[in-house]
Amino acid sequence: MTGDPRVIASSAARPGAAPVVRIEGDWTLRSLASRVGEIRKELAFAGADASWQLDVSRLDSFGATLLWQAWGERWPRELDADEALSAMIERVAEAATTPLPEPRSYTLIDAVVGLGRVQLVLFGHVAGLVRLLGQLVLDVAYLIRHPRDWPLFEISANVFKVGAKATPVAALVGFLIGVVLSYLSALQLRAFGADIYIVNILGLGIVRELGPVLVSVLVAGRSGSAMTAQLGVMRVTEEIDALSAMGISRTRRLVLPKVVALTLAMPLLVLWTSGVALLGGMVSAWVQLDLGFGFFIDTLPRVVPIANLYIAIAKGAAFGLLIALVACHFGLRVRPNTESLSANTTASVVSAITAVIIVDAIFAIATRSIGVPG
């Protein structure tokens, strides 16, 4: 019979006999969820030593678990149920009585195996990035020979999305960073009477280091994650497989426009953000140290050589290429499920930011004697 789950308890038919408890209705999680507390009380009131009759329409593992717990995790003295219901309760009873395996102790061999597994995963990602970069080089070589096949519309659309649409948030963050850096520097410089050196600190710090790294972190979180999610959704919906079935190169139509667009847009974003950050620092220096805008603008080119600007532009192009490669690499690794999509999107952002910091350190070592006033 169908209906709401019910527990019908009746007194014993003759003196000394066990009372009869009749279970009726639909005993599934969906039916029991709203009344689970009430059902538990009714089962406990019926008692485990009663004679139980199961006349239910459906019984799942949740309903069987309620009955097994009401019986004190042992079979009742009398049970009237068909084979299917008894088999369901028996499976629940076996699962409840099976002891859990003892946790194995963590040994030195496990640590070595874990370290090796991490290295293999890292090498796999590096090999995937190298393969993707090599395929892009082949695509560029093909497009040089066939100029009409360049995906110009896709490149321009990606430049707009990753470049023009990112300028407001980049300007806001850059201005605030400039204000904060100028404020903190002014507190220390004023104590030593070296107010004018705030131009040196802001110029070198923002143009050479802070501007490119700050923009890269913003772009990795904003555009990099969007690229990974877009390619991942296309993998989930099998759109990439459809492109391959039609003979269209996925790297040439999907990956190359993103890589080219971000490589071109990042140097411009670096210049934009660095300029706005310097403006914020200039405003803060004027408020705190009474340094005029004219003095700041006149001193900046003399204390910050033009080579620092070239280094910042080179960093922007390198970081843009790196972020786009990492984002597309993880996007193409997405499996057709939502959990893989979220995991690869997170891994894309974290990996891109980590790679940017590593490459920035390499740039700092390689250019340590360039653009630094003697």
pLDDT, average across residues 289-316: 85
Q: What is the pLDDT of residues 93-151, one digit of tens each?
A: 888 777 767 777 777 888 888 888 988 988 888 898 899 889 899 989 988 998 888 88
CA 87 – CA 82 distance, rounded (Å): 9
Helix (H, G, I), strand (E, B) or coil at 103: coil
Percent of all residues in the chain with a pLDDT value above 90, rounded to a whole number? 25
How many CB atoms sit inside 10 A of residue 369's CB? Answer: 7
More confident residue, 332 or 70: 332
Cβ proximity of 321 and 255 under 8 Å: no
Name the helix (H) or strand (E) containing 22. Answer: strand 20-27
Q: What is the pLDDT of residues 140-183, one digit of tens each?
A: 998 899 888 888 898 999 999 988 899 999 999 999 998 888 88
- Surface-to-core class of residue 196, CB atoms within 10 Å of its CB (0-12 exposed, 13-18 middle, 19+ buried): middle
State the pLDDT confidence band at 17, using cuts at 50, 70 and 90.
low
Query: What would the 3-class secondary structure string for 27-89 be?
Result: ECHHHHHHHHHHHHHHHHHHCCCCEEEEEEEEECHHHHHHHHHHCCCCCCCEEECCHHHHHHH
Cβ proximity of 7 and 56 under 8 Å: no
How many CB atoms sit inside 10 A of residue 322's CB? Answer: 24
So where are the chain's domains? 6-97, 124-366
Q: What values do phi and psi take at 22, rounded to 5?
A: -110, 130
More confident residue, 195 or 14: 195
CA 181 – CA 192 distance, rounded (Å): 17
Q: Number of H helices and number of E strands within the chain?
A: 16, 4
Q: Cα angle at 292 between 287 and 293, to 5 degrees?
A: 105
